[in-house]
Structure 1
Amino acid sequence: MFRKWKWIVMTLLVAAIMLVIRLEDNGILKTPIRQLVTTSADMTYLSELGQSLLKKEEKKITVSSDIGQSDLLSFANAEEFEEGYLLQYEVGLPVYTGQEGLVVFTGHTKYTGKTMTISYADGTTVSYGMLDSLAQLPYTSVKSNDLIGMKESGQLYMSIEKNNIHYTLEEIVQWLQTDENEN
């Protein structure tokens, strides 16, 4: 029964935020609510709040798996773009989550097209853009190796931020390698 109430409260919170943002978009509210609730710090806070409300006592079982983010390390070229990098791939690939987290954005942006942003449990916020398809809905919890979306050959945008600092390409590669070793 208590878990049901947590879901109701979380759903109402998300609905209230979406309603207020819609009111701002239509010019009814002059306060920049979207900016207030879509900063990295606020998304991290909402992620932690949501995860604490939905926290289940689970028994962890170690399993081995050949899926993960190792395919993302196979890019042929990279160039700096916006606050991240465009990674060039010769073949299409599925894109998986690196660890547990919360999807904080799913949609289309002007510069990165179909984009998904995930706030991971380790405090990193990762945006995957220029995806060809999206496999998760906003404000859903994800586990390690959950499918994010699909990327055909071409460029994939990736940006990682932690403590308001954006990762360099070398740090992104290291994060992907470390993340893969933990899975």
Structure 2
Amino acid sequence: MFKKWKWFFTILLVAATMLVIRLEDQGVVDTPVRKMVTTSADLTYLSELGQSWFDKENETITVSSDVGQADLLTFANAQVFKEGYLLQYDVGLPVYAGQNGLVVFTGHTKYTGKTMTISYDDGTTVSYGMLDSLAQLPYTSIQANDLIGMKEAGQLYLSIEKGDAHYDLEQIVQWLETMETHED
């Protein structure tokens, strides 16, 4: 009975959050709700709350060594865009989670199209935008190497934030290289 209530309150929380974010996107709400929900202590709290409710210890996913962030390092060029970078890819590629974390946004934005934002366990918040398909739902826990989405040839938006600072291109490349070394 208690598990049913957890699901109900989780669904209610997600629905209310998504509604307020949609109102923010439409200019009805002036408070930057997306910023509050996708940064800092709020994400840590939501991540810990979600993990405590949905214990995934008994769910083991076997991954092969050929998945991870390595493909993201093959971009042809990069240009600054908003708080991140547009990375150009000559071929399509799957996009995988760099490590364990919580999906805090999955949807469509005005500037980055199909976008997924993940709060990773290392304290980084990463937004993957201009994806062609999304493979995760908002407010779900993910494991390293879980599929996030697919990107056809073209530009992928990538923004990494830790604390109140956004990573520059060199820091993004270093972060991706670090995630590559964590592959199984």
Query: 1:128 Cα deviation (Å)?
Result: 0.4
Question: In the alignment, which residue of structure 1 is the partner of 2:55?
Answer: 55
Q: TM-score, normalised by structure 2?
A: 0.83
Question: In the alignment, which residue of structure 2 is the partner of 1:115?
Answer: 115
Question: In the alignment, which residue of structure 2 is the partner of 1:144?
Answer: 144
Structure 2 Cα separation of the partners of residues 46 and 105 of structure 1: 12
Q: Which has the larger radius of gyration?
A: 1
Question: In the alignment, which residue of structure 2 is the partner of 1:106?
Answer: 106
Task: Describe the SS at the equivalent of 1:118.
Answer: strand
How many pairs align?
181
Question: In the alignment, which residue of structure 1 is the partner of 2:33?
Answer: 34
Q: How does 1:62-141 map to 2 (within 5 A)?
A: 65-141=65-141
The 1:39–1:142 alpha-carbon spacing in structure 2 relative to 1, beyond 3 Å, is closer
Question: In the alignment, which residue of structure 1 is the partner of 2:170?
Answer: 170
Task: Describe the SS at the equivalent of 2:123.
Answer: coil
Q: Name the amino acid aligned to 2:131.
A: L
Task: Kindly report the root-mean-square deviation, in angstroms, between the aligned alpha carbons of the 2 structures.
Answer: 2.7
Quick check: 43-52 or 122-131, which moved more? Answer: 43-52
Instruction: Give the unaligned 5+ runs of structure 1.
Output: none
Q: Name the amino acid aligned to 1:135.
A: A
Structure 2 Cα separation of the partners of residues 139 and 132 of structure 1: 20
Task: Describe the SS at the equivalent of 2:49.
Answer: helix
Q: Deviations over 1:116-175 (max 9, x none)?
A: 111111111100011111111111211111111111111111000111111111111111
Q: Check conservation: 1:69, 1:96, Cα contact below 8 A.
A: yes
Q: Does 1:8 pair with 2:8?
A: yes
Instruction: Give the unaligned 5+ runs of structure 2.
Output: none
Structure 1 Cα separation of the partners of residues 17 and 31 of structure 2: 12
Task: Describe the SS at the equivalent of 1:88.
Answer: strand
Q: TM-score, normalised by structure 1?
A: 0.84
